Amino acid sequence: MLQDVTATKREQKRLIHLAQIDGLTGLMNRGGFHVRLENAITRARDQKSLLAVFYLDIDRFKPVNDTHGHAVGDALIQAFADRIGGKVRASDVVARIGGDEFTMFIEGARDVDYIRRIAEKLVAAMRRPFELQANAITLSVGASIGVSLWGGEGPMSAGLLIAHADAMLYEAKQSGRDTYRLAVVETTSEPHDTRGCG
């Protein structure tokens, strides 16, 4: 009986894990990311520490799909995901939330300059051409990034931090793409855009 219960619980955990994984990239999906981010918000509040949320997307992705087809688009998404993973710490949480859009969060950052450097490093990394060997094609795209940074004080939610990062992503797109924008989030006010750019 004990073995049956243990096996059932193990299977339930496995299914919950699978439900939080993006099938194309192997990264966390939107639902899993929200759960992990809410937990990170609790830790940041307890420790009064910085928490940064990044919202990234691939510049000029639609023309890739339109010109080369969805198989190449999928291969580019996978390569983009791999490149993000190569530029962040193992403890940083990265997710694909749909299409060519990704989110990630970084806990316990020393200061805003550290987060700026990460954003700059990501923008620079995505400027390098993507060699999709299985498709025998090389693509140059780039990335736009929005960042929201919260200091662990006052009410906060995963949805609000993501919404602020999304708004900064929109500003990065509006300013010409291939850059980032960062907002310091204060719960009772509109985001403060620090005009950071890559």
**Which residue numbers are catalytic?**
100
* Bridge partners of residue 143, in order along the sequence: 58
Give the helix, strand, coil percentages of the chain, each rounded to 5: 50, 25, 30
CA 6 to each of CA 2, 3, 14, 17, 78: distance values in angstroms, whole numbers, following the listed order: 6, 5, 12, 17, 35
Cα end-to-end distance, the chain, whole Å = 59
Tokens 């719960």: give the residue. 187
Here the tokens at position 3 are 């073995």
Burial class (CB in 10 A: 0-12, 13-18, 19+), 16: exposed
